[in-house]
Amino acid sequence: MPAHHTRYGVRIKTFYMLKEKKTFYITTTLPYVNAKPHIGFALEIIQADAIARWQRMQGKEVFFNTGTDEHGLKIYRKAQEEGKDPQKYVDEYAAKFDNLKKALNLSYNAFIRTTDENHIKAAQEFWKKCEQAGDIYKKNYKVKYCVGCELEKTESELANGKCSVHPNMELETIEEENYFFKFSNYQQKLLDLYEKNSEFVLPSWRLKEIKNFVAGGLEDFSISRLKEKMPWGIEVPGDDKHVMYVWFDALINYVSTLQWPFYVKASDGKPDKNSNYEKFWPGMQVAGKDNLRQQSAMWQAMLMSAGLPNSTQILIHGFINSGGQKMSKSLGNVVDPFELVEKYGTDALRYYLLSEITPFEDGDFTIEKFEKRYNADLANGLGNLVARMANMLEADSIELTVSSTERGELERGVNGKMKEFKFNEALKILWDELRKNDEELSKKKPWKVEDADKKGEILEPIAQSILSVADLLQPFLPETAEKIITQFSMKQIKRGDSLFPRI
RNA sequence: AGCGGGGUAGAGCAGUUGGCAGCUCGCCAGGCCCAUAACCUGGAGGUCGCCGGUUCGAGUCCGGCCCCCGCAACCA
């Protein structure tokens, strides 16, 4: 390659380094408020929280979004069942989800509800942009209808082509006029997007999956419902007979939470560089495997249509099973995150979900496994080591100089894993370090050493190591990390309450 | 049919670019006694789903087969 090309390459690189964003945006999907918070969502939001906290430690200004998805037929029905006004119903549920913030010690700074006034306006504006792009049109939409249930049925609700509740009745097909989104327009553009960004969707096999799906051809999807049948939605601009189908509206939260499209200065009509949208979009999304299509294909096509930049990356996690089986109410194996936190503590749950669950694959949760892990790693491991160290240091009034900046290799290891979102492996590195400290104590037996100075010489590097671990533990177990940091940063380290009592 | 994931010690799982098969729990033996009946050391236990190929060498790459799970479009 000619020399000037190389030089050009270097300049490009420098340019990008200078331009490297100082901000970082991450969002979860919005849980639908037709049920209580589920441990699967706890996994998603804890993963997102660990990433957000880690990014902050890297010096980034982070915008971390979550919220609730509140429109649609199921919620409308649920509210009716409970004899409540839909708005009142969703208000109650939104509060339940926002309670996760405290229960799971989450650091999100935005909680968007799809019934928020700003979101509604944003969704309507987004619709108009897609319409202007020529991607919205009206078409007949066929729905299967079970007279027995007096309800519309989707394919997945059917068994052998019949309603599973009324298998003896024929389903009726009814037709209504809906608005459709020209998903089919975006097949090639989506494939190009995937081609250009080899890590657009992680893990790689999920990217492969979505590529295959898109390459197989896209059908336009319905994005509205007749208001007279289902009024609980955002009104379609310019047509008061329709409301938006919940999916179309819900996805837009990722930008409406950043004040899109109200980021333009009134004075000169130019984008306000200090607006959240300008500062943070595009960003990263975390979603479950059931959301692969919606997030990495449908939403991306919608963004293209409306003329907004695509998301930067989509992380797809798996599901949590319970004893190898899907969690379901009928099996009675649904796990409630609030109960776990109340009984075992926030960091215990965070630790289990981040260390035991392989980030991209399905994981398993049982109380037995959870307690085993808790005792082995938190009580016997971290908790016991901190206690035995603090005890010795206090007993002999040994003063140490420990600093929280000497992390070196350990930090590089953890950061390497975090760049790949391998939370479990990052934690493994930290626990290997803790184990080394236990080994070291067994080998050097400081409790047998009489001389206080010599004892201090043995204990200081171990205390330093614990402090380093605690430092790096902040994104994962923020409360515990903080306790240890406070305890081990004192000149005279003192015994504290046990961090994780044995079960 | 197709697409995707998985099949590694009793259980649950790791195994980047091919190089003596690892981790946690459990089990057995020993040590220690500072600590949360904790911690440390050693040990038993595996034909890495099956067959074939490439290679000096394959859990790892290639081909074929078997079994389990998920998806299969409007399901938050």
> Over 60: is that where the pLDDT of A160 sits?
no
* DSSP labels, A270-297: -B-TTSHHHHH-S-EEEEEGGGHHIIII
Please tell me whether residue A66 adopts helix, strand or coil conformation.
strand
Residue A63 and residue A280 in contact, taking contact as beta carbons nearer than 8 Å: yes
Cβ atoms < 10 Å from Cβ of A329: 8
Measured CA to CA in angstroms, residue A320 lies from A41, A45, A338, A362 at distances of 10, 14, 16, 6
Please, what's the b/e burial string for A25-43 (b: 16 or more CB within 10 A of its CB; e: otherwise)? bbbbbbbbbbeebbbbbbb
Q: Using the structure, give the distance in angstroms from the CA atom of A290 to the C1' atom of B71, rounded to a whole number.
A: 9
Residue A219 confidence (pLDDT): 83
Cβ atoms < 10 Å from Cβ of A188: 10
Q: Using the structure, give the distance in angstroms from the CA atom of A458 to the C1' atom of B57, rounded to a whole number.
A: 45
pLDDT, tens digit (0-9, with 9 covering 90-100), for A65-108 = 999 999 888 888 888 888 888 999 999 989 989 999 999 999 99
> Could you give phi then psi for residue A327, rounded to 5 degrees?
-75, 130
Measured CA to CA in angstroms, residue A308 lies from A111, A271, A304, A399, A406 at distances of 22, 13, 6, 57, 43
Percent of chain A exceeding pLDDT 90 equals: 33
> Over 80: is that where the pLDDT of A440 sits?
yes
Q: How large is the average pLDDT for residues A451-461?
A: 86
Q: Are strands A221-222 and A172-181 parallel, antiparallel or unpaired?
A: antiparallel
Q: For chain A, what is the mean pLDDT? A: 83
Among the ranges given (A131-135, A303-307, A331-335, A464-468), the one the predictor scored with the smallest mean pLDDT: A331-335
Q: How large is the average pLDDT for residues A379-391?
A: 92
Q: Using the structure, give the distance in angstroms from the CA atom of A102 to the C1' atom of B24, rounded to a whole number.
A: 30
> What span, in angstroms and rounded, lies between the C-alpha atoms of A234 and A245?
8
Model ipTM value: 0.85
Residue A20 confidence (pLDDT): 63
Among the ranges given (A140-149, A265-274, A305-314), the one the predictor scored with the smallest mean pLDDT: A140-149
> What span, in angstroms and rounded, lies between the C-alpha atoms of A181 and A252?
14
Highest mean pLDDT (candidates A205-209, A345-349, A352-356, A454-458)? A345-349
A 81-140: CB within 7 Å of strand B: none
> Over 50: is that where the pLDDT of A15 sits?
no
Q: Using the structure, give the distance in angstroms from the CA atom of A503 to the C1' atom of B21, rounded to a whole number.
A: 34
A 222-241: CB within 7 Å of strand B: 222
Nucleotide nearest to A448 (CA to C1'): B34
- Asked if the Cβ of residue A503 lies within 7 A of any atom of strand B, the reply is no
In 3D, which of A430, A431, A459 has the Cα closest to residue A444? A459
> Over 60: is that where the pLDDT of A18 sits?
no
> Over 50: is that where the pLDDT of A441 sits?
yes
Please state the pTM of the whole predicted model: 0.89
Kindly calculate the radius of gyration of chain A based on its CA atoms and give it in whole angstroms: 27
* DSSP labels, A210-273: HHHHHHT----EE-EEETTT---SPEETTEEEEEE-HHHHHHTHHHHTTTTT--B-TTTS-B-T
pLDDT, tens digit (0-9, with 9 covering 90-100), for A417-429 = 888 888 888 888 8
The tokens for A503 are: 């079960």
Q: How large is the average pLDDT for residues A203-227?
A: 84
Query: Which one is predicted more confidently, A404 or A454?
Result: A454
Task: Specify the DSSP element, H or E, that contains A111.
Answer: strand A110-113
Q: Are strands A158-159 and A162-163 parallel, antiparallel or unpaired?
A: antiparallel
In 3D, which of A92, A102, A189, A23 has the Cα closest to residue A478? A102
> Over 80: is that where the pLDDT of A57 sits?
yes
Sheet holding A151-153, edge to edge: A151-153, A136-146, A172-181, A221-222
pLDDT, tens digit (0-9, with 9 covering 90-100), for A286-335 = 998 888 888 999 999 999 999 999 999 998 888 887 766 667 665 666 77
Residue A4 confidence (pLDDT): 34
Confidence category of residue A405, pLDDT binned at 50, 70, 90: low
> Could you give phi then psi for residue A88, rounded to 5 degrees?
-65, -40
Listed as ranges, the nucleotides of chain B within 7 A of a protein C-beta are 3-6, 12-14, 24-25, 31-41, 70-76
> What span, in angstroms and rounded, lies between the C-alpha atoms of A221 and A305?
14
Please, what's the b/e burial string for A81-97 (b: 16 or more CB within 10 A of its CB; e: otherwise)? eeeeebeebbbebbeeb
> Over 70: is that where the pLDDT of A147 sits?
no
Measured CA to CA in angstroms, residue A236 lies from A176, A293, A298, A375, A428 at distances of 16, 24, 19, 54, 50
Cα torsion angle, A447, A396, A431, A467, sign: negative
Residue A107 confidence (pLDDT): 95
Residue A8 confidence (pLDDT): 34
> What span, in angstroms and rounded, lies between the C-alpha atoms of A353 and A344?
13
The tokens for A297 are: 């294909």
Residue A164 and residue A158 in contact, taking contact as beta carbons nearer than 8 Å: yes
Please, what's the b/e burial string for A355-390 (b: 16 or more CB within 10 A of its CB; e: otherwise)? bbbebbeebebeeeebbebbbebbbebbbbbbbebb
Residue A475 confidence (pLDDT): 94
Residue A404 confidence (pLDDT): 58
Among the ranges given (A162-171, A187-196, A371-380, A456-465), the one the predictor scored with the smallest mean pLDDT: A162-171
Surface-to-core class of residue A135, CB atoms within 10 Å of its CB (0-12 exposed, 13-18 middle, 19+ buried): buried
> Over 70: is that where the pLDDT of A37 sits?
yes
- Asked if the Cβ of residue A219 lies within 7 A of any atom of strand B, the reply is yes
Maximum pairwise Cα distance, chain A? 89
Confidence category of residue A6, pLDDT binned at 50, 70, 90: very low
Q: How large is the average pLDDT for residues A430-435?
A: 89
Cis ω on the peptide bond leading into residue A203 (within 30° of 0)? yes
